[in-house]
Chains A and B, each alone.
Chain A
Amino acid sequence: MLTLLIGIPLLVDLAFIWFPALASVLLSFTQWTGVGSVHMKSCDAFPTAPGIPKPGCLFGVQNYNQALHIYPAFWPAVRHNGIWLGVFLLIATPLGMLFAVLIDRGLRGSRIYQSVLFLPVMLSLALIGIIWELIYAPDKGLINTVIGRNHNNNLIDWLGDPHLNLWAILVEATWRQAGYVMVLYLAGLKSVDPSLREAATVDGANAWQAFWRVVFPTMRPINIVILVVTVIESLRAFDLVYITSKGNPLRGLELLSVSVTQNIVGETQRIGFGSALGVVLLVLSLVPISIFLWQAFRKEVQR
C-alpha cells in the first residue's frame, strides 16, 4: 500500500517532470525547427539552402556558444533576472512582512488594509499587466496625464524606454508580491504563541526588540518558505513581461523565461536553441533549490 502511495506520485513525477527536463537537455544539443524528426547526424552532414532550415540534426554545444556570444538578449536577460531577484528580496518581501506585522498589531481598520493589499494577489498576472498598461501608456495613461507629461515633447515612455521599463514592471510585480508575502507572513504571525511576546514585554523589550529577538526566530519555518517562494517567483518571472511585450521582445525587459518562449513558441521554432536557454535557466534555478534542500536535510540529520 505504501509502495503504491509513493509509486504513483513518483511515476507521475518522472513522466511529467524528469522526462521533459531530460528531453530539454538532450534537445539543447540539436538544431531543430519542430518539423519532422531529429536525425542522429551532425548538422554539417546536411546541405545548406539559404533560408530553409535543415532537418533536425546534432549541433553539439553550438546553441550554448551562440547564446553566450551572439544572442543579444542573453546577458541582459540574466542581469534582469538578477535584478528581479534583488528587488524581491530587498523590497517586495520586506514590504510584505512589514504590512503583516502592522496588520497583526491590530491597527484600526486592519481588515480593510488586509483586503486591499491582498486584492492584487487574487488578480491574474495577465490582468495586472493590462491594468498597469493603462496606467503607464504614454499618451493617455494615468501617470503621464496626471503629471502633465503626455505631450509629444515631454512624454515619459514608461514601458518603452529600456532604462525605465524594467523598474516600471517591477513596481507591478512588487505590488502583487508584497500582498502575497503579507498573507503568508500573517498566517505565521497568528501561530506565534502570544505569551512569548508578553514575556518579552514583561522583561522590558520594546516592540522592535520583541519582534527581532523573539517573534522572528520562532518563525524560522515560515521565513524559509517565504525565502523559497521569493526566489522561485523571481526566477520564473514571465507573465507580466510577456503581457506587456505582447509576445514581442521589448528591449530592457529581456528575461530568460521570455527568451525561451520566444524561441520555442512561434511560427518558426528554434527548439534546440530555446532548449539551451531553458537548460541555463534550469541550472540557475538549481542553485538556490539545492542550497535549500541541503539545509533542510542537514537539519533532519542533526535532529
Chain B
Amino acid sequence: MPDLSDSVPDQPGVSRRSMLKGIAGAAAISAVPGAVLAACSSSGNGGGSTSAAGAGSSSAAAGGSITFGSNYSDPAPKDAFASVVSAASGKTGVKISVNTVDHNTFQDNISNYLQGTPDDLATWFAGYRLQFFAAQGLLTPIDDVWDQIGGTFNDAAKSLSKGLDGHYYLVPLYNYPWVIFYNKSTFQQKGYQIPKTWDDLIALCKQMQKDKLIPFAFAEKDGWPALGTFDILNLRINGYDYHIKLMKHQVPWTDKGVTDVFNQWAQLMPYLQNGANGRIWQDAATTLENKQAGMMFQGSNQVAANYSPKNLPDLDFFPYPQINPQFGQKYMDAPTDGFMLPNKAKNPDPAKTVLKYLGTAEAEQTFLKTDHWDVGLANGLIAPTYNDIQKKSVDAISACEAVSQFMDRDTVPDMATAMISQIQSFIDDPSSGNIAKIQKSAEDQAKTIFQ
C-alpha cells in the first residue's frame, strides 16, 4: 500500500537521494579492493525472520501489523525477546513479525537502515547513541506514548529516553550495572573484606597477589571493556557532570582531571591481568570463574551471563570503592537498552500501541523470565524470577544519584573508537610520558571529530 505520508514531507525526493547515498556509500568503499569484504559483511543480514502470530488472530486484523527489527541475536536474549513479542501481540492485537539481525551487523548498519526501509520498531540504546540519530531526524518522537507510560519510570530513565530537543524517542527495557564481581567462596576462604575505599582496594589486591591470585581478571582485545574502567575512575574522581562534559568535549581531553584518572589507573595496573590487549572478555570472566582471579570489573550483562548456572550462586559483586569523598559511590555505568520508532516506519500507529505495552512492568517481567543478568527499569519492579545478582543490581543502581551509560554510548562512536586505541596504548605503557602523549592525541582527534 503505497502511501505518500510515508515519505518525510520536508525532505522531497528522499528515495532518490537515499538511493544516491547508497551508491555513493558503496562507491566510497569499493574504491579499495580490500575493503569490499567489509561492505559485504556489513550488508549481509545474518539472521532469520520469525513471526509471532497474535494470540487472537481476529483482533490482529483490527490492530494492524508491524515488523520489529531486533539485534537480540544471541539465543538467550532472542528467546526472551520472542516471549515479550508474543505477549505484546496477544495484549494489543497487533501482529508482529520480528527480523533478527546479528547485533554487530545491526549496529554497523544502523544509519543506512534508518534511512532505507527500516522496520516499524527497532531495538536500540539509550543516551547519546539515541540522541545522535534523533537529532538527525531519523527517529519519530513518541511523547504521546510517554503520556501513558510515564508513570512506570523514574526521572533518570525518563531523561535517558529523551533526545537533545527534549522529546522522547525511546522506551527503555532493561539496564545492568558495571561493578566489581567476585566469588563468595574465595572471599570467605581467605577472609577478604569488601573494600570501601581506594586504599582498601589496593591493600586487597596486594593480599590477593600474596595468595597467588590475579587480583583483577582483565581483557581489552574487544576494545570496549577497558573503557568501563576509565569511566568508573572518572566518575569516582571527577564526578558525573565532568564525565558528561568530557564525553561532549566541553572539557578538553588534555585536562588535569583526565590526567588524574590515568594516574589513578596506573596505580592499579600491577594488579590487572597481564596480556589484556590480546584477551577477549569471555576468557577473563573464565579466569574469575575458575578462581584464578579474585575480582573482575565489568557489566553483569557480561560476567553473570558468561557464568555457568552451576557457579552463578557463588558470584557476587560490590560497587567500585570510593576515591574522592566528594563523589563517594554516587555514580556508575548502567547501560540501558530499549526500543525506538524509526522516522520512516510504515505503520507508526500500531507500532505506538506496541510501545505502550512494552513500557509496562509486565512486559519487562516477561522479558526477564529467562534473563538472569539484566534488570527492568520500571519503578519498583522486582520480578519473581530475579536471582540474588539481579536483586542486588536493582539496589545498586537505585542507590546511585545518576547513572552514565558507557563511554561508547555517551559520546560520538568515533571518539570512543579513538579512545579504544589510546587506552590500549596506556595498558602497554602506563608511564606519565605516555599518558601525556595519549591525552594530546585524544584531544587532537576530538577536535576533528567534534568540529
- Give the residue among B35, B136, B222, B248 with the most A Cβ atoms within 10 A: B35
Nearest A residue to B287 via CB reads A139
Nearest A residue to B447 via CB reads A70
Contact with A along B271-290 (1 / 0, CB 8 A): 00111111110010001000
Query: B65-119: which have CB < 8 Å to A?
Result: 104, 107-108, 110-112, 115
Asked whether any CB of chain B lies closer than 8 Å to the CB of A279, the reply is yes
Q: Are B132 and A51 in contact (CB under 8 A)?
A: yes
CB-defined contacts of A37 to chain B, threshold 8 Å? 17, 20-21
Segment touching B, from A171-179, A184-192, A196-204, A264-272: A264-272
Nearest A residue to B276 via CB reads A160
B194 smallest CB distance to A (angstroms): 23
Nearest B residue to A254 via CB reads B421
CB-defined contacts of B417 to chain A, threshold 8 Å? 248-249, 262, 266
* Alpha-carbon distance between A262 and B104 when the two chains are bound, in angstroms: 13
- Give the residue among B24, B42, B278 with the most A Cβ atoms within 10 A: B278
Q: Are A282 and B31 in contact (CB under 8 A)?
A: yes
Asked whether any CB of chain B lies closer than 8 Å to the CB of A235, the reply is yes
B280 smallest CB distance to A (angstroms): 8
Q: Are A268 and B412 in contact (CB under 8 A)?
A: yes
B271 smallest CB distance to A (angstroms): 11
Asked whether any CB of chain B lies closer than 8 Å to the CB of A148, the reply is no
Asked whether any CB of chain A lies closer than 8 Å to the CB of B187, the reply is no
* Alpha-carbon distance between A271 and B441 when the two chains are bound, in angstroms: 21
* Alpha-carbon distance between A157 and B274 when the two chains are bound, in angstroms: 8
* Alpha-carbon distance between A160 and B288 when the two chains are bound, in angstroms: 20
* Alpha-carbon distance between A281 and B420 when the two chains are bound, in angstroms: 24
* Partner among B23, B24, B411, B425 whose Cβ is within 8 Å of the Cβ of A251: B425
* Alpha-carbon distance between A52 and B450 when the two chains are bound, in angstroms: 8
Q: Are B136 and A52 in contact (CB under 8 A)?
A: yes
Q: Are B37 and A35 in contact (CB under 8 A)?
A: no
Q: Are A161 and B278 in contact (CB under 8 A)?
A: yes
Q: Are A50 and B424 in contact (CB under 8 A)?
A: no
* Alpha-carbon distance between A33 and B115 when the two chains are bound, in angstroms: 12
CB-defined contacts of B283 to chain A, threshold 8 Å? 137-140
Contact with B along A30-42 (1 / 0, CB 8 A): 0001111110000
Asked whether any CB of chain A lies closer than 8 Å to the CB of B140, the reply is no
Size band of the B side of the interface? 35 or more
Asked whether any CB of chain A lies closer than 8 Å to the CB of B32, the reply is yes
* Given A262-B417, A267-B129: A250 touches B31 (CB 8 Å cut-off): no
Q: Are A72 and B32 in contact (CB under 8 A)?
A: no
Q: Are A138 and B279 in contact (CB under 8 A)?
A: yes
CB-defined contacts of B23 to chain A, threshold 8 Å? 23
CB-defined contacts of A235 to chain B, threshold 8 Å? 34
* Alpha-carbon distance between A186 and B249 when the two chains are bound, in angstroms: 59
* Alpha-carbon distance between A153 and B272 when the two chains are bound, in angstroms: 11
* Partner among A34, A160, A165, A248 whose Cβ is within 8 Å of the Cβ of B25: A34
Chain A interfacial residues counted at CB < 8 A? 76
Asked whether any CB of chain A lies closer than 8 Å to the CB of B138, the reply is yes
Q: Are A139 and B277 in contact (CB under 8 A)?
A: no
* Alpha-carbon distance between A219 and B38 when the two chains are bound, in angstroms: 36
Asked whether any CB of chain B lies closer than 8 Å to the CB of A19, the reply is yes
CB-defined contacts of A152 to chain B, threshold 8 Å? 214, 273-274, 292
Q: Are B214 and A70 in contact (CB under 8 A)?
A: no
CB-defined contacts of B32 to chain A, threshold 8 Å? 236, 256-257, 260, 278, 281-282
Asked whether any CB of chain A lies closer than 8 Å to the CB of B128, the reply is yes
Asked whether any CB of chain A lies closer than 8 Å to the CB of B4, the reply is no
Q: Are A251 and B421 in contact (CB under 8 A)?
A: yes
* Alpha-carbon distance between A267 and B107 when the two chains are bound, in angstroms: 6
Asked whether any CB of chain A lies closer than 8 Å to the CB of B257, the reply is no
* Partner among B31, B104, B111, B250 whose Cβ is within 8 Å of the Cβ of A35: B111
Q: Are A267 and B248 in contact (CB under 8 A)?
A: no
Contact with A along B115-151 (1 / 0, CB 8 A): 1000000000000110110011010000000000000
Q: Are A261 and B107 in contact (CB under 8 A)?
A: no
* Given A138-B275, A138-B279: A20 touches B31 (CB 8 Å cut-off): yes
Q: Are B27 and A19 in contact (CB under 8 A)?
A: yes
Asked whether any CB of chain B lies closer than 8 Å to the CB of A94, the reply is no
Asked whether any CB of chain B lies closer than 8 Å to the CB of A303, the reply is no
Asked whether any CB of chain B lies closer than 8 Å to the CB of A73, the reply is yes
Segment touching B, from A106-114, A237-245, A294-302: A237-245
* Given A24-B28, A250-B277: A268 touches B414 (CB 8 Å cut-off): yes
* Alpha-carbon distance between A140 and B413 when the two chains are bound, in angstroms: 32
CB-defined contacts of A232 to chain B, threshold 8 Å? 33
Nearest B residue to A150 via CB reads B275
Q: Are B111 and A52 in contact (CB under 8 A)?
A: no
CB-defined contacts of B421 to chain A, threshold 8 Å? 72-73, 249, 251
* A-to-B contact residues, CB < 8 Å: 16-17, 19-21, 23-25, 27, 33-38, 43, 48-53, 66, 70-73, 136-140, 152-153, 155-162, 165, 232, 235-239, 242, 246-251, 256-257, 260-271, 274-275, 278-279, 281-282
29 A-B pairs with CB atoms under 8 Å apart are A20-B30, A34-B112, A35-B136, A52-B132, A72-B422, A137-B278, A137-B279, A138-B279, A139-B283, A157-B279, A160-B275, A160-B276, A162-B277, A232-B33, A238-B35, A248-B417, A249-B421, A250-B424, A251-B277, A251-B421, A260-B35, A263-B414, A264-B29, A264-B35, A265-B38, A267-B413, A268-B412, A278-B32, A279-B31
| Contacts beyond the supplied A257-B34, A267-B108: 15 A-B pairs with Cβ under 8 Å | A20-B27, A35-B138, A37-B21, A50-B450, A53-B136, A73-B421, A152-B273, A155-B274, A157-B279, A160-B279, A160-B424, A248-B224, A251-B428, A264-B38, A267-B413
Nearest 6 interchain pairs by C-beta = A160-B278, A160-B277, A248-B223, A236-B34, A23-B27, A20-B27
